[in-house]
Every structure is written in C-alpha cells, then in structure tokens.
Structure 1
Amino acid sequence: MTITADQLLLFVATLSVAILSPGPGVIAVSQGAFALGRSRALPYAWGLALGASVWCLFALLGLTVIFRILPWTYVALKVLGGAYLVWIAWKMWRHAPDPLPDPTQGNAGMGLAGGAMLNLSNPKPALFYSAVLLSIFPALPTAGDKLAIYVTAAAVELAFYSALVSLMALPWPRRRYYAAKFWIDRTAGLAIGLLGLSLILRH
C-alpha cells in the first residue's frame, strides 16, 4: 500500500465534517427514526450509508473523469436526481396529515433499497469525493489502496447514519415528533424539495 495511516485519518476527519451538514439523507432518516423507532429505521440508515459510499467507489473508478469529458452526463444525473428528491418531498408533504404508522408494520420506502436510492439521487458527492481523494491521496492509488479508501468511507458513512438513527429514536425527540408530526413532516418535505429543485436549477 502507498497510502499512510495519517492520510486515512485525515480522510476520516474530512468526511466526518462534510456529512454533518444537513442533506436529504439526514432529514429523511431523522424523520424515519422519529416515526418508526430505531429498529425499523436502521435498514434505511444503512441504505443511505451504502448509497453515499457508492459515490466514493465511483470517484475511485473515475466517474468524475466522465463528468469532465461529457458534462451533459452530470447535468442529466442532477436533473434526474433532483426530480426524485422532489417526488420524495411531495410524498412527505402529502402524507403529513396521516396518522402515525405502526412501528411493528413494514413501511414502504424505508428499507435498505429506499435509503440507497435517496443518496444515489444526488451526484454531488461524487465530485466531493473526487476532490478530497485528489487532495489527500495525490499519488495514484493501487487497487489495494482503493479498497482501503472505500472500506474506510463506507465505515464512516455507516457509523454516522447508525448513530443518527439511535439519537433521533430516543424517547424525548420522538415525543416532540408525536406532538408536532404535521409541521415536522411538512418542514422536512419542504427542505428536501428545495434541495431537489436546487439540483435541477443549478447547472
């Protein structure tokens, strides 16, 4: 391996700071933890982590090179991803008046695949990962290096989303959600919708 432990630690620190910023995944998984509890929302959180880590893998495999050579591919992904986020936002907004779901029952869209799809709908992390990888690992990584980098990214994403679900499913934030479900769901839907529109409109 050509990468060092110091480089990996810097990568972990940079990624940790970046994923703390609220995005559609953070908003959606928090709402799921409020409504369904830890055990029901964890698969969704793991899907979000998987989806985010896939962008790291794509960056390692050179997807951002394709974006630079064929800029329309990035625009197309942004528009499609933004449209998906707007659709998720519309569902949140429309179902805000609905009663709370039964935590013991399945909840469509809150599984592993739903979480992965949500984070894959935003291609911006591919550019973030590309920039971070180039700055922290300037030497051309070997196949073993790329595997170590990907495993590190996936572990950080998994730890973050699992911890977020565990925190948001605690009794006191869930009680607050129960008391203000309509407005929390509408606010979450509006936030995700605006993020989706920003993807579509900012080329």
Structure 2
Amino acid sequence: MSVTLDQLVLFVGTLAVAILSPGPGVIAVSQSAFALGRRRALPYGWGLALGASLWCLFALLGLTVLFRVLPWTFTALRLAGGAYLIWIAWQMWRHAADPLPDPLDARMGMSFPGGMALNLSNPKPALFYSAVLLSIFPSVLSAGDKAVIYATALSVELAFYTALASLMALPWLRRRYYASKFWIDRGAAALIGLLGLSLILRL
C-alpha cells in the first residue's frame, strides 16, 4: 500500500476543517435533531454522511475527469442540485408554522435516503475531494489505497454527523427550539435556499 499514515492524518484534518463549515447537511441535520430528537435524526445524519462520502468515492473513480472532459455534466448536476436545495428550503419555509411533528414520522425527507439525497444534490464536494486527493496522495493509487481512503472519509463523515445529531438533540437545545420553532425553521430554510441559489449561480 502506497498511502502512509501521515497522509491519512493530513487527509482527516483537511476533511474535518471542510466539514465544519456550514452547509446544507449541517443545517438540515441540526434542524432534524431539534424537531425529531436523536433517535430520528441519527439515520438522517448517517444518510448525509454516506451521501457526502460517495463524492469521495466518485472522485477516486474519476468523476472529476468526466467533469473536465464534459463540462456540461457538472453544470447539469449543479443546476439540478441547486433546484433540489431550493425545493427543500421551500418545504421548510412552508411548514415553519406547523405544529411539531410526531417523532415517529419522517418529515420533509428526514430519513436515511433523504439525507443521502440532500448531500448528493451538491456536486461541489466531488471537486473538493478531487483537489484534496491530488494534493495529499500519490497520483497512482491501487484498489487497496482507494478502499482505505474511502473508508477514512466515510468514518470521518459518520463521526461528524453522529456527533452533530447527538449534540443538537440535547434537551436544553430542543427546548430552545420549541420556544422559537417558527423563526429557526425559517432561518434554516433561508440558509439552505441561499446555498441552493449560490450553487445555481456559481457564487
């Protein structure tokens, strides 16, 4: 195996810094944990983690090469992803005044498949992963190397979203959410909508 421990540590550190920047997944899983609690938010967070990690796998398999050869494929994914984020934002905005959902019900796609769909709606992580992989690891990677790198990315994503869903479901944070549900939901919707719009406009 040509991948070293030092390279993996650097990869984990770079990925952790990138994940901590607010994005649609962070906003959505936080809002899910507030509204539905830890038990329902965790599968959603794991779906988000898997969806995000798949962009690493796609980059390892050469998706960014396809984007360079056929730029319209990235444009198509970007427009479709931005439209999906705006739709999610509209649903959150429209339901902000609704009563709190039954914790047994999945709301607005807040399920494992819904989490995957949300993080797969943004193709930018494929470019991020591609740049990071090229800057940290050797240009030629074996199948074993790629498996180790993907397993590392998946582990980091799972750890982050598990921790975030658990933290945001703490009772005192949920009580704050209950007291300000309308404005928190509207704020989350506005942020996700702006992220979707920026994806479409390439801001």
Q: CA deviation at 1:139?
A: 3.3
Which amino acid in structure 2 is aligned with residue 20 of structure 1? Answer: L
Q: Is the 8 A contact 2:56 2:150 kept in 1?
A: yes
- 1:166 corresponding residue in structure 2: 166
**Alpha-carbon separation, structure 2, partners of 1:48 and 1:175:** 25
Per-residue CA distance 1:44-94 (angstroms, 9 max, x = gap):
000000000000000000000010111111111000000000000000000
**Alpha-carbon separation, structure 2, partners of 1:106 and 1:132:** 35
Which amino acid in structure 2 is aligned with residue 99 of structure 1? Answer: P
Q: CA deviation at 1:103?
A: 1.4
- 1:178 corresponding residue in structure 2: 178
- 2:30 corresponding residue in structure 1: 30
Q: Is the 8 A contact 2:92 2:108 kept in 1?
A: no
Aligned length: 203
- 2:132 corresponding residue in structure 1: 132
- 1:17 corresponding residue in structure 2: 17
TM-score by length of structure 2 reads: 0.98
**Alpha-carbon separation, structure 1, partners of 2:37 and 2:75:** 37
**Alpha-carbon separation, structure 2, partners of 1:106 and 1:77:** 26
**Alpha-carbon separation, structure 2, partners of 1:120 and 1:9:** 25
**Alpha-carbon separation, structure 1, partners of 2:138 and 2:95:** 47
- 1:118 corresponding residue in structure 2: 118
Q: Is the 8 A contact 2:91 2:108 kept in 1?
A: no
**Alpha-carbon separation, structure 1, partners of 2:96 and 2:139:** 50
**Alpha-carbon separation, structure 2, partners of 1:173 and 1:196:** 27
Q: CA deviation at 1:108?
A: 5.1
**Alpha-carbon separation, structure 2, partners of 1:108 and 1:192:** 14
Matched, 1:66 2:80: no
SS of corresponding position for 1:51 = helix
Per-residue CA distance 1:9-29 (angstroms, 9 max, x = gap):
110010001000000000000
TM-score by length of structure 1 reads: 0.98
- Superposition misfits of 4+ residues, deviation over 2 angstroms: 104-108
Q: CA deviation at 1:201?
A: 1.0
- 2:201 corresponding residue in structure 1: 201
The percent identity for this pair of structures is: 76
SS of corresponding position for 1:97 = coil
**Alpha-carbon separation, structure 2, partners of 1:106 and 1:7:** 39
Which amino acid in structure 2 is aligned with residue 170 of structure 1? Answer: L
